[in-house]
Amino acid sequence: MIARKPEWLKVKLPSGDNYLKLRSLVKDSNLHTVCQEAMCPNIAECWGVGTATFMILGDTCTRGCRFCNVKTGRPNAIDPLEAFKLAASIEELRLNYAVITCVDRDDLPDGGAAQMAQAIRAIKARTPHVKVEVLTSDYRGDLDAVWTVVEAKPDVYAHNIETTRTLTRQVRDRRCGYEQSLSVLQGVKKLRPDLYTKSSIMLGLGESDEDVLQTARDLRLHGVDIITFGQYLQPTQKHLKVVEFVTPEKFAWFAREVKPLGFHQVVSGPLVRSSYHAEQAFATKL
């Protein structure tokens, strides 16, 4: 049985004026954040400085990945004003960098790509200075849907492969796929070579070191520019159990091992998530 969380994974409870303001704004605008839905361990730090990752297309996912705390079921209808509420909130928060993610919407013909594109355009129109990073689903591998998002001109396009090839079936929903994720990321690069792409890997699910390194090689081979490594944390007893709490030193080792592959940015640590300090990674690679 895995031991209790080590000291390096303990975080502060959410607090502070900026955190309270952001929480109130999200609630009043009927918006959703992955910070809340996925129980992100960095919510105190990020919300405390007025940074958040917004989740569009509702709070209910059509898939049931065994690591994710976002609820699964039949989603509600899309809010036609969602993009404009989001843009207004980002302006009110005075953000310079926004991360927009989404639930999987296999019930929609385009997987929600048009709604994502509308959100990007609404933010750019209202606050042209804001850099927009999107973290999308795989759209069932539909590159027409991917193009819908790419054409809206985000500044960074992220899609998470989540785990190694050997653990994909155990960790992700059956409609997800290792090769499908690689295809989407490669497709983005083919559609717009100048657009930076990004992906994330969770550690602590029983993967071998070589499998992790091979996943990094596969991502780089498919044109991915930014890679992040973070510790998987079990959100509830119904989800996959943590096999190992990877040490900060091991995360640093993975970073050293993959940097020679040619990534523009490598972010690796126990509390790192795909959108953690995303604005810093963007500034670094500029």
**pLDDT by residue, tens only, the chain of 286 residues:** 455 788 888 766 656 666 677 677 667 766 666 665 555 666 666 666 556 788 899 889 999 999 988 889 999 999 999 999 999 988 987 778 889 999 999 999 999 999 999 999 999 999 999 989 999 999 999 999 999 999 999 999 999 999 999 999 999 999 999 999 999 999 999 999 999 999 999 999 999 999 999 999 999 999 999 999 999 999 889 999 999 999 999 999 999 999 999 999 999 999 887 776 666 655 654 4
* 225 closest CA partner among 145, 157, 142, 153: 157
**Measured between alpha carbons, how far is 82 from 20 in angstroms, rounded to an integer?**
22
**Two tokens, residue 152:** 């809206």
| Residue of 219, 218, 204, 207 lying closest to 272 (CA atoms) | 204
**pTM higher than 0.85 for the full model?**
yes
Res 175: pLDDT = 94
Q: What is the pLDDT of residue 285?
A: 46
> In angstroms, what CA-CA distances link 163 with 103, 201, 217, 225?
18, 5, 13, 17
Distance between CA atoms of residues 174 and 168, nearest Å = 9
Q: What does the domain layout of the chain look like in residue ranges?
A: 7-285
| CATH, domain 7-285, list 3.40.50.300, 3.80.10.10, 3.20.20.70, 3.30.365.10 | 3.20.20.70
SS3 238: coil
pLDDT of residue 257: 98
Residues whose CB is less than 8 angstroms from the CB of residue 132 and which lie 6 or more positions away in sequence, other chains included: 97, 98, 100, 120, 123, 124, 154, 155, 156
- 155 with 123: CB under 8 angstroms? no
Q: What is the DSSP string of 89-117?
A: HHHHHT-SEEEEEE---TTSTTTTHHHHH
CA distance 176 to 3: 30
Q: Quote the pLDDT of residue 286.
A: 42
CA atoms within 13 A on the CB side of 164: 15
Go through 20-35 and write b for each residue having 16 or more CB atoms within 10 A of its CB, e for each that does not: eebbebbeebebbbbb
Look up residue 107 and give its two tokens: 């019930």
